[in-house]
């Protein structure tokens, strides 16, 4: 059996668990725990270990989706994560600009240290307070060649689109001989 892994990362509560849940054929075995810290009490539970989802491709191939824990600081994790990875999806909550700084930090880290390929999703586009994707592009300043996609993690089609964009991106790079 062959396995490939993708990592879903992003600031606290950006929708990583939801994203994986929308396409995984198993229940995301996240280690959710109740949130106690007042500051982060915008929802009841958060992911404390890696989320874990699965998509069986065929008899020989399985795709695993890993979601990073929300409250951990990202810096020291990405290098470990990057190993053995096909690519990343960086999720950002479009309706919470207070998390953009953290998101920008992730993107700047990526830019400085070059991980495996990644795309960025502007999640929760269904919310009335969501920032427009073009505004988020300026606010988040991803490298110009990085795709920033509108996303609604609760919507399976939207999640599929994000995953596919990442795969197309990888395929393109293979074809152009970038790696």
Ligand X SMILES: Nc1nc2c(ncn2[C@@H]2O[C@H](COP(=O)(O)OP(=O)(O)OP(=O)(O)O)[C@@H](O)[C@H]2O)c(=O)[nH]1
Q: How far is residue 65 CA from its own chain's centroid?
A: 10
Q: Using alpha carbons, select from 62, 56, 75, 98 the residue that is nearest to residue 9.
A: 75
Q: Which of 17, 21, 68, 123 binds Mg ion (CB under 5 A)?
A: 17
Helix (H) or strand (E) holding 32: strand 32-34
**Closer residue to another protein, CB minimum distance, 33 or 79:** 79
Stretch that binds Mg ion, among 14-22, 56-64, 98-106, 128-136 (CB under 5 A): 14-22
16 binds ligand X (CB under 6 A): yes
30 vs 89: CA distance, rounded Å: 18
167 vs 178: CA distance, rounded Å: 14
Q: Which of 26, 33, 41, 43 binds ligand X (CB under 6 A)?
A: 43
Count residues contacting ligand X (CB under 6 A)? Answer: 19
Phi-psi region of 177 (alpha: psi -120 to 50; beta: other; left: phi over 0): left
109 binds ligand X (CB under 6 A): no
Place of tokens 């990073």: 68
Phi/psi of residue 104, nearest 5 degrees: -65, -35
Q: Which of 67, 70, 115, 142 binds another protein (CB under 8 A)?
A: 115
Contact positions toward another protein, by CB under 8 A?
2-5, 23, 55, 57-58, 61, 63, 82-87, 95, 97-102, 104-105, 108-109, 111-112, 114-117, 128-132, 134-135, 138-139, 143, 145, 156, 160, 163-164, 167-168, 170-171, 173-175, 178-179
Contact positions toward Mg ion, by CB under 5 A?
16-17, 47
């Amino acid at each position: 059996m062959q396995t490939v892994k993708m990592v879903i990362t992003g600031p606290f509560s950006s929708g990583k668990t939801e994203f994986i849940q929308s396409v995984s054929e198993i229940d995301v075995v996240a280690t959710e725990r109740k949130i106690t810290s007042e500051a982060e009490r915008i929802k009841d539970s958060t992911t404390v270990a890696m989320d874990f989802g699965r998509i069986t491709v065929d008899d020989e191939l399985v795709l695993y989706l890993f979601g990073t824990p929300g409250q951990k600081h990202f810096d020291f994790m990405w290098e470990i994560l990057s190993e053995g990875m096909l690519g990343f999806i960086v999720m950002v909550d479009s309706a919470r600009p207070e998390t953009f700084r953290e998101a920008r930090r992730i993107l700047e880290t990526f830019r400085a240290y070059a991980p495996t390929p990644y795309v960025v999703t502007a999640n929760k586009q269904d919310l009335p307070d969501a920032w427009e994707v073009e505004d988020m592009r300026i606010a988040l300043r991803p490298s110009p060649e990085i795709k920033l996609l509108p996303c609604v993690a609760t919507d399976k089609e939207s999640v599929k689109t994000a995953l596919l964009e990442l795969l197309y991106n990888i395929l393109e790079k293979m074809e152009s001989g970038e790696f």
